[in-house]
Structure 1
Amino acid sequence: MGKTVKKQRPVNLDLTTIRFPVTAIASILHRVSGVISFVAVGILLWLLGLSLSSPEGFLQASAVMNSFFAKFIMWGILTALAWHIVGGVRHMLMDFGYLAETQRTGNSSARIGFGITVVLSILAGVLVW
């Protein structure tokens, strides 16, 4: 039988010291926004069904959408959808060869995507409120 060697590797358990690159943050947020958008479809379909069920259902849906909490949720859904679309377009531009697949281009395109999403998020807030 062979001898097993235990490697002494450093272990960093302090997660506050880890800094993700902007491309990793963009990738993680793209996945998160996809999950939020998927869950949002159920919420939005429920709200649509309620509003189309009857005149009373429409009034109930209107009452739900008049609350600050519902408007905040709707703003969050629209912001997540905006980031998911912007991130998806960014990935497609890279896949089709319109953006170079370099670290520099990845960083700058992620930052530009964040900027575009901030603008779209502000516009969504104006639309919702």
Structure 2
Amino acid sequence: MTKKNQRPINLDLQTIQFPITAIASILHRISGVITFVFVGVLLWLLSTSLSSPKGFMEAANFIDGWFVKFILWGMLSALFYHIVGGIRHLCQDLGYFEDLESGTKSAQVSFIITGVLALLAGVIVW
């Protein structure tokens, strides 16, 4: 039997522990998809609000609901995380935060900054 066949195989995703840097990277990709999908909704809302005074009232009434405000807050939070994560990745491209320790710290800082921005977005939306 070769050494390749003796490697342990762990396919149980509940037992795999991802490092915070991997979680930050995965969430950055997810936030990018969320942002991309909801840009269409935001453009529709902008177009409706700018079409006429009646369209503006329709858009304002649409945003007035609690559920829509929650969705809007989620979109803004995803956008903020994507921006903060993008800046983090750009810094890594420039040679900063490349080792495990500083990469972990930068991921933690990006989560904290996003949390603060998400709270501010909640205050603005509500």
* Fold conserved between structures, TM > 0.5: yes
Q: Alignment partner for residue 24 of structure 2, among 26, 30, 50?
A: 26
Runs of 4+ in structure 1 deviating by more than 3 angstroms, as ranges, are 8-11
C-alpha deviation, 1:19, in angstroms: 1.2
Distance 1:100 1:14, change over 3 A: closer
Residue 72 of structure 2 corresponds to residue 74 of structure 1: yes
C-alpha deviation, 1:8, in angstroms: 5.1
CA-atom RMSD in angstroms = 1.5
Q: Alignment partner for residue 34 of structure 2, among 1, 21, 36?
A: 36
Equivalent AA in structure 2 for residue 120 of structure 1: L
Q: Alignment partner for residue 103 of structure 2, among 102, 106, 109?
A: 106
* Structure-2 residue corresponding to 1:85: 83
Percentage of pairs with the same residue: 61
C-alpha deviation, 1:11, in angstroms: 3.4
* Structure-2 residue corresponding to 1:3: none
Q: Alignment partner for residue 120 of structure 1, among 82, 105, 117?
A: 117
Larger Rg: 1
Q: What do the CA deviations read for 1:27-79 (whole angstroms, capped 9, x no partner)?
A: 00000111111112100000011111222211110011000111011101110
Residue 5 of structure 2: SS of its match in structure 1? coil
Residue 63 of structure 2 corresponds to residue 65 of structure 1: yes
Residue 112 of structure 1: SS of its match in structure 2? helix
Residue 17 of structure 1: SS of its match in structure 2? coil
* Structure-1 residue corresponding to 2:10: 12
Partners of 2:108 and 2:9 lie apart in 1 by 31
C-alpha deviation, 1:14, in angstroms: 2.7
Q: Alignment partner for residue 56 of structure 1, among 50, 54, 57?
A: 54
TM (normalized to structure 1)?
A: 0.89
For structure 1, which runs of at least 5 residues remain unmatched after alignment? Answer: 1-5
Partners of 2:68 and 2:37 lie apart in 1 by 15
For structure 2, which runs of at least 5 residues remain unmatched after alignment? Answer: none
TM (normalized to structure 2)?
A: 0.91
